[in-house]
Chains A and B, each alone.
Chain A
Amino acid sequence: MISFSHVSKSYRAVLGVGRVVPALVDFSLELREGEVFGLAGPNGAGKSTLISLLLGFLGPTEGEVAIDGLEPRRYVETRGVGYLSELVNIPAAWRVTAALHRYALLSGVPSAELGTRVQAAIAQLGLEEHKSKRVRQLSKGNLQRLGLAQALLSDARVIVLDEPTHGLDPVWTQRFRDIVTLLRRPDRTILIASHNLDELARLADRVGIIDRGRLQRIVDVRATERDVVEGAAYRIVVTRGEERVVEHFPSARALGRGEFELTGISLDVINLGVGALIAEGALVNALYPVHSALEQQFREAVGAKEEPS
C-alpha cells in the first residue's frame, strides 16, 4: 500500500549554501493494507520528515515514495489521507463545528451527509460542550481531539497519526485506543508515529524504529511479546515471605514494600526461584519485565541514551 524505496532527504541552507543536513538516509519500508504500523524514534530521528514525504509536503532528495502505486501528492489530491499532525494548526478564530464543516467539505463529504458526519465526529471525540467555542479557546487536549476529529471525517484508506495522544488525558488516551481498534479495516493502512512505546505496543502490528534518519529495525510486536530476552530485568512483588527472596535471588535489589528487581538472571533461574518461594509459603503478587519487549528492542536499536516514555 505504502512504499519507501531507498529514500533519502537532505535539508540545505538557503540558496544551497552551507551545511547539508541529512534527515533520512537510504530509507526503505513497505506498509501493508490492513495493518497498523507504528513509528518510533527519538526526537530528530526523521519521523516528521518521513510523514511529510508520505503526504507529498516534501519531495525526496533520492529514492521514491508511493501510495497505492501513485506519487504521494497525486494520491492525496485524488483520494485524501486522514492526517493528524503533531502540532494541531487550525485558524484560531474558527469555531469547532464550523472547522469540522469546512474540513468535511474539503474531504468531499456530500451535503446530505455533512451535518450528520460532523455531529458524529463531535460526539465520537467528546466535543459537544466545546462545539461553539473558537479554536483559540480550546485546551491542548481538546484541540488534539479536534485535530483527530477532522482526520476521521473522511473514509480514507490511509490514516497517518503523528503523536496522536499528545496532550490527551488518560481517559481519552484509552478512548483513542478504542477508536484505532474501530478504524482497523482490511483495506486500510494506519501509520502511528509516537514516542509512547507502550501505546505502540498496544496498537501496532509492527513498529519501525528510526534513528538518525535510518530505519534501525522493524519489530513484529505480537511475535516479540512471546520472545524470551535473556538477561532482561524483571520485577517481583511479594506480599508474604519477602525475607526469603534474597535467599533464592542473591543479586536481587530491594525496592521496598516487597518489590525486588532481578537483573542478569535467566528466565529458567527466575522460574525455579519463584517456584521455591511459593513452595515455602511466600505469596508472589506479580512478576513482570521492567521493560516491555518493544522497549528492549528500542533500547538496543537506539541505545540507552534515549529513554522512551
Chain B
Amino acid sequence: MTAPVASSRADRRGRVGAYGLWQFRDYLLDRGAPTFIVSSLFAYLTVAPMLPGLKRNMDTLPPKLIARWGGVDAARAVLMHDFNELFLRSFLGVVVFLGALFAMNGIVANDRKQGFYRFLFSKPISPSRYYGQAFVIHWAGFLVVAVVMTLIYGALVFPILSVPLVQALALMFLLYAGIAFLLSAAARWDWLSLVSVTVAASYLWSRYGASTSPFAKLLYLLPPLDRTSEIYSAVAKGDAIPWNLLQWYAGYGLVAYLLGLVVLRYRRLAIV
C-alpha cells in the first residue's frame, strides 16, 4: 500500500482561473458545437431558397438599375447588400437567442439536479466564483463561434464581419445570458423560464408599452424586447446602432448576472 497521495501543503485555494481552460473546452464541445450546427442550419435554410432568385436578378439586371447605380458591379453590390440586410435582420436575433439559450441552459441548475456540485464544492472554491467565471467564458466562447460563423458566411456568400456586428452580438448575448444565468442560479426550469420571460417581455411591451397607466411603469422590470429588431436592423443596414437601447439591454443583462452571483452566494447548493 502506497502512502496517502496528498502532500503536506494545506489551506490552498482552488485554481479556478486555471480551470477556465476546462470550462472553455466544455463550452465548445457541449454548447458551442450545437450553437454552430443549429445556427448554420438556420442560416442555410434561410439563404438557400433566396440564392436562385438573387442569382437570377444578378444575371438579368434591368438597364434602369444599372444606369441608376452607374454600372453592373455597383448594381450587383447594391443587390447583395439588400440581400445581406434581409438575411442579417432575421439571422442575428435567432443566433443571439439560441446562442444564449445553449450557453446558459442549466449552467448552475444541471450541476444541482445531477449532484455534480457535491464534489465540485467540497473543494476550496466558491460557487459564485466558479459559475461567474463560467458565464464569462461561455460569453467569450459564443463570440468565437459567432465570429467563425460570420467568417464562413463571408467566405461563401458575402463579408459581413464588422465591429458593430460583434458589439451587437456581445451585448445582446449579455441580455439573454444574464437573465438565463439568474434563472439557472435560482430555479430549475431555466430554459423554459428564459423563453417565458422573453415572450412575456416582448408581448407586454408591445401591448402596453405606450400606456399611460401607472401600472405600465411595472413594465420596466422587463427589458423592452419588442424593440430588438431596431438593433439588428441598424447592424444589417450599416446604420448607427441605437446605443441607448443597446445599453438598456446590456445593463439589464449585467444586473441579472450580478443578481445571479448574489443568489449563488446565499442560496444553499443542496436546494434544487
Listed in ascending order, the chain A residues whose CB lies under 8 Å from chain B are 52, 55-59, 76-83, 85, 87, 89-91, 102-103, 105-111, 113, 117, 120-121, 123-124, 147, 149-157, 160, 175, 178-179, 182-183
B269 and chain A: residue at smallest CB distance: A57
Which of chain B's residues have a CB closer than 8 A to the CB of A182?
A: 1, 3-4
Residue contact A155 to B15, C-beta cutoff 8 Å: no
The interface stretch among B61-69, B114-122, B162-170, B212-220 is: B114-122
CB < 8 Å neighbour of A124 from B5, B11, B115, B123: B5
Instruction: Report the minimum CB–CB distance from A180 to chain B (whole Å).
Output: 10
B268 on interface, CB distance cutoff 8 Å: yes
Which of chain B's residues have a CB closer than 8 A to the CB of A179?
A: 1, 4
Residue contact B122 to A55, C-beta cutoff 8 Å: yes
* 22 A–B contacts, CB within 8 A, in A order: A57-B268, A79-B11, A79-B124, A82-B122, A83-B119, A89-B115, A102-B22, A103-B123, A105-B15, A105-B22, A106-B19, A106-B125, A107-B123, A108-B15, A109-B12, A124-B2, A151-B122, A152-B4, A155-B8, A157-B10, A179-B4, A182-B4
CB < 8 Å neighbour of B13 from A78, A153, A156: A78
Residue contact B124 to A85, C-beta cutoff 8 Å: no
CB < 8 Å neighbour of B16 from A106, A157, A178: A106
- A sample of 16 more A-B contacts (CB under 8 A), given A59-B268, A107-B12, is A57-B117, A78-B124, A82-B122, A83-B119, A85-B115, A85-B119, A105-B15, A105-B19, A106-B16, A106-B124, A117-B6, A152-B4, A153-B6, A155-B10, A160-B122, A182-B1
How far apart sit A13 and B9, CA to CA, in the bound complex (Å)? 44
Instruction: Report the minimum CB–CB distance from A111 to chain B (whole Å).
Output: 7
Q: If the complex has contacts A81-B122, A90-B119, A150-B119, are A120 and B269 also in contact, measured as CB distance less than 8 A?
A: no
Instruction: Report the minimum CB–CB distance from B8 to chain A (whole Å).
Output: 6
B127 and chain A: residue at smallest CB distance: A77
B270 on interface, CB distance cutoff 8 Å: yes
Which of chain B's residues have a CB closer than 8 A to the CB of A124?
A: 1-2, 4-5
A180 and chain B: residue at smallest CB distance: B4
Which of chain B's residues have a CB closer than 8 A to the CB of A123?
A: 2
How far apart sit A57 and B269, CA to CA, in the bound complex (Å)? 5
CB < 8 Å neighbour of A76 from B7, B116, B122: B122
3 nearest CB pairs, A to B: A108-B12, A89-B115, A83-B122
Among the interface residues B8, B10, B12, B124, which one has the most CB atoms of the partner chain A within 10 A?
B124
Q: Which B residues between 1 and 55 are near A, CB-CB below 8 angstroms?
A: 1-16, 18-19, 22
Residue contact A79 to B10, C-beta cutoff 8 Å: yes
B271 on interface, CB distance cutoff 8 Å: yes
Residue contact B5 to A58, C-beta cutoff 8 Å: no
Which of chain B's residues have a CB closer than 8 A to the CB of A87?
A: 115
Which of chain B's residues have a CB closer than 8 A to the CB of A106?
A: 14-16, 19, 120, 123-125
Residue contact A155 to B7, C-beta cutoff 8 Å: yes
B124 and chain A: residue at smallest CB distance: A80
Residue contact A52 to B270, C-beta cutoff 8 Å: yes
Which of chain B's residues have a CB closer than 8 A to the CB of A58?
A: 268, 270-271
B90 on interface, CB distance cutoff 8 Å: no
B30 and chain A: residue at smallest CB distance: A93
Residue contact B6 to A155, C-beta cutoff 8 Å: yes
How far apart sit A90 and B268, CA to CA, in the bound complex (Å)? 20
Instruction: Report the minimum CB–CB distance from A276 to chain B (whole Å).
Output: 45
B126 on interface, CB distance cutoff 8 Å: yes
How far apart sit A90 and B122, CA to CA, in the bound complex (Å)? 13
Q: If the complex has contacts A107-B14, A111-B18, A157-B10, are A76 and B124 also in contact, measured as CB distance less than 8 A?
A: yes
How far apart sit A55 and B6, CA to CA, in the bound complex (Å)? 20
Residue contact B121 to A178, C-beta cutoff 8 Å: no
Which of chain B's residues have a CB closer than 8 A to the CB of A149?
A: 5
How far apart sit A56 and B117, CA to CA, in the bound complex (Å)? 12
Instruction: Report the minimum CB–CB distance from A266 to chain B (whole Å).
Output: 42
Which of chain A's residues have a CB closer than 8 A to the CB of B22?
A: 102, 105
Residue contact A57 to B118, C-beta cutoff 8 Å: yes
Among the interface residues A58, A79, A105, A160, which one has the most CB atoms of the partner chain B within 10 A?
A105
Residue contact B124 to A107, C-beta cutoff 8 Å: yes
Among the interface residues B1, B8, B116, B119, which one has the most CB atoms of the partner chain A within 10 A?
B119
How far apart sit A113 and B126, CA to CA, in the bound complex (Å)? 23
Residue contact B5 to A120, C-beta cutoff 8 Å: yes
Instruction: Report the minimum CB–CB distance from B124 to chain A (whole Å).
Output: 4
CB < 8 Å neighbour of B121 from A57, A111, A152: A57
Residue contact B268 to A80, C-beta cutoff 8 Å: no
B29 and chain A: residue at smallest CB distance: A93
Residue contact B116 to A90, C-beta cutoff 8 Å: yes
